[in-house]
Every structure is written in C-alpha cells, then in structure tokens.
Amino acid sequence: LMEYEIIEEADSRVAAAALLLALRMKGENEWSETLEYYSGYKECDLTILMYRLNELLLTQTKCKTIRTKYSHEIFFEVAKISALPRSKPLKV
C-alpha cells in the first residue's frame, strides 16, 4: 500500500485485514479457525484496520495507474470490485 497512515502496521496484519476485507467484499462472512490459525489474528484484531482499508478504497486516490493496471483481465479485474459502502454494517 502506498498510504502513509498504514505504514505503522505490521505487514502480516495489513495482509490479514486486506483478506478479511476481500472476503466481505465478495459476500463471505466467515473468518474461519483455519484463517485465524495461519494468519495468527482473530477477526476482532483486524476489524478496525479493515474499516481503515475500506475507507482508503472509498476515497479518490492519486494512483490511477495502479487502478488501471489491476482493472485488466490478467489481474482478474480486481480493481473493478466495489468497496463496501460506508453505511453497510460489517460483521464483527
């Protein structure tokens, strides 16, 4: 991530929170025991950071090149997946 406010977080925690956010964006609501075991994080440890990451997706970024790159088929068009709306309650 190219956001200064996230730099203080452990890379493993950011990765786990990003996975949790991706699961929510795809409609999956379970942070399984397997994910907890291999990531080392409980869902409740990641929720606030997940909200912060979602907020970054909702704000306009200066990095349009990155969005364009990940909008191509070769990257499975992941940049086209909508962020969670601010008003949508997230399972905690």
Q: Where are the domains of the chain?
A: 4-80
- In this prediction, residue 91 carries a pLDDT of 55
pTM for the model? 0.77
How far apart CA 92 and CA 90 sit, in angstroms, is: 6
- In this prediction, residue 77 carries a pLDDT of 74
CATH says 4-80 is which class?
mainly alpha
10: CB partners within 8 A, 6+ apart: none
Contact assessment for residue 39 and residue 16, using Cβ atoms and an 8 Å cutoff: yes
Query: Helix, strand, or coil here: 18?
Result: helix
CA angle 72, 84, 32 (to 5 degrees): 95
Q: Which two tokens stand for residue 45?
A: 């440890």
Q: List, for the chain, all residue ranges whose pLDDT scores fall below the cut of 50.
A: 1, 89, 92
- In this prediction, residue 71 carries a pLDDT of 81
